[in-house]
Amino acid sequence: MKRRRSLGSHARALAAAGPSPYDGADSSTCFANFRTRYRGDRDASALRGALFQCQDAGFLNTGVGLGYNTYANPFVCRPADRQSVRERYTGREFILPNVPFTALPSHVGIPLDLGAPGRRDFLHSGYCR
């Protein structure tokens, strides 16, 4: 008889947190669900699962205050294929102004022209000109 493997703490945290804000829930409820429903070890993997489910903090969240990305860092003036792993730490994570949400703008438009697929020069020439 095969023995069934139990889910790791990351998968259990995702299940315990319940629906994400993208699925109609809200972050506060998601974290409350995690707090009351999660029964596993409260380790880094579980925390990453809760942050992913409740706040969309990606799996590459380093947990050390520096964001990591597999894409090229636009602040390093070299193309993606010449950037080191260390250069892909893109800056501080979770930086929020200490103001009431009502004082923040409802949205900010940031123009982003990536160009047509197959013609994205920045991938090979870098972002700096």
Residue 18 has pLDDT above 80, yes or no: yes
Give the per-residue pLDDT at 66.
Answer: 65
* Residue 38 confidence (pLDDT): 96
Round to whole Å and give the CA distance between 74 and 88.
Answer: 9
pLDDT band at 4 (very low <50, low <70, confident <90, very high): very low
pTM of the model: 0.49
116 versus 68: the higher-pLDDT residue is: 116
Long-range CB pairs of 77-81 (<8 Å, 24+ gap) are: 77/126, 77/127, 77/128, 78/126, 79/122, 79/123, 79/124, 79/125, 79/126, 80/123, 80/124, 81/123, 81/124
User: Is the predicted pLDDT of residue 95 greater than 60, yes or no?
Assistant: no
Give the chain's end-to-end CA distance (angstroms, integer).
63
Reported residue count of the chain is: 129
Q: What is the mean pLDDT of residues 68-97?
A: 72
Using one digit for the tens of pLDDT, what is the confidence trace for 56-65? Answer: 777 666 656 6
Mean pLDDT of the region 22-43: 91
Residue 40 near residue 50 (C-beta atoms within 8 A): no
